[in-house]
Amino acid sequence: MKITKNKVGAALIMIAVLAAAYIWGGGYARRVEPAPQTASVAEQGPVPPADVSPAEPAGEQATPGPTDASVPNQAETPVTPQETGSTQPKLNPPADGKQLTGEEKLALAAAAGGDKSSPGVQKGSEEYSEKQGMAIDPGTGKDKYQTAPVPEGKPVPVEPKNAVVGETAYTCTLSVECSTILDNIKNLDKDKKELVPEDGIIFPPTKVTFYEGESVFNVLQREMKRNKIHMEFVDVPIYNSAYIEGINNLYEFDCGELSGWMYTVNDWFPNYGCSRYQLKDGDVVKWLYTCDLGRDVGGYYAVGEP
């Protein structure tokens, strides 16, 4: 296209007119005013958080907003199963809330009993017990593990460290029951009611194998594990024996302050721990839950007797 003088002149006139209109309308003044620029920053600042420095208070407040709302949820999540874990074995503590040691539990039970043994409890014979190998302290009338003499015809305790387990296999009859709870169900920990069988039988009388030199404790521990029945015990050095705290998640004190587990062998309630009772072929072992320190099952030993 050919540019003529007339076209160039027309273009120059148009540019001059536009420039005059821009200056006359105040466009130049608006370009140098800071107000519009400041308002623009204020409107856009909160929108992109990346524009705000983390060191500034605004940045610190913006970040914790969602974080504060989520942290309590994270903290509450693990707490819930810990507080509602009712399947965990639980021991009801004394009124002061302190958990007793094994020695303290046995001492408390003895002190709470009374002064008269159950009718079936036989008086021990010091002469007989010493002939069987018990070392009786003349001052206390007991051996070094606080065991009184046993009745005539009954086996004396055998210390676990002295027991020699052989390969000869024998059989005994073992059973576990808690039928006394059925008569005292109102005293049972409400969380434990579903653990009590309708007939009170946890493990029916069953012939089981044991080996020469094994104790009542050895057999109970093995058979409960084999049959997937919960059992918990604690070693009590002062009595040199294991102390059975709970079977089938039923613990001492679950059905009153005088409740717990006892055992009999051939209908005799030994006056020493199950780790020290060495089994013989054909023995009949029963584990019984008492709600009255043995009175309700015929095995209560009064303090100082027999």
- Both ends of the chain: CA-CA distance in Å? 135
Identity of the residue numbered 207? K
Residues 199 and 278 in one domain: yes
Residues 127 and 204 in one domain: yes
Q: Is residue 34 part of a domain?
A: yes
Residues 48 and 112 in one domain: no
CA 256, 225, 214 angle in degrees (round to 5)? 95
Q: Is residue 12 part of a domain?
A: yes
Residues 153 and 50 in one domain: no
Residues 279 and 194 in one domain: yes
Burial of 62: CB neighbours in 10 Å, binned 0-12, 13-18, 19+: middle
CA 179, 94, 232 angle in degrees (round to 5)? 55
Q: Is residue 94 part of a domain?
A: no
Joined together, the tokens standing for residue 15 give 């540019």
Q: Is residue 117 part of a domain?
A: yes
Alpha-carbon distance 230 to 250, whole Å?
9
Q: What is the pLDDT of residue 112?
A: 61
Joined together, the tokens standing for residue 18 give 């536009």
- Provide the domain count of the chain: 2
Joined together, the tokens standing for residue 126 give 């010091």
Element (H, E) at 102: helix 102-113
Residues 195 and 269 in one domain: yes
pLDDT mean for each 10 residues of the chain (306 residues): 52 50 43 39 34 35 36 35 33 53 59 69 94 96 96 97 97 99 96 97 99 99 98 97 98 96 97 98 99 93 66
Query: Which CATH number does the domain housing residue 188 bear?
Result: 2.170.130.30
Residues 196 and 140 in one domain: yes
Q: pTM, whole model, 2 decimals?
A: 0.66
Residues 168 and 242 in one domain: yes
Residues 131 and 264 in one domain: yes
* 103-118 burial: b if 16+ Cβ within 10 Å, else e: eebbeebeeebeeebb
Residues 232 and 121 in one domain: yes
Alpha-carbon distance 180 to 296, whole Å?
7
Domain span including residue 55:
5-63
Rg value, the chain, Cα: 42
The DSSP output letter for 133 is: T
Q: Is residue 171 part of a domain?
A: yes
Closest of 209, 215, 224 to residue 172, by C-alpha: 209
What separation in angstroms does the CA of 197 have from each of 152, 169, 179, 182, 249? 37, 32, 8, 9, 12
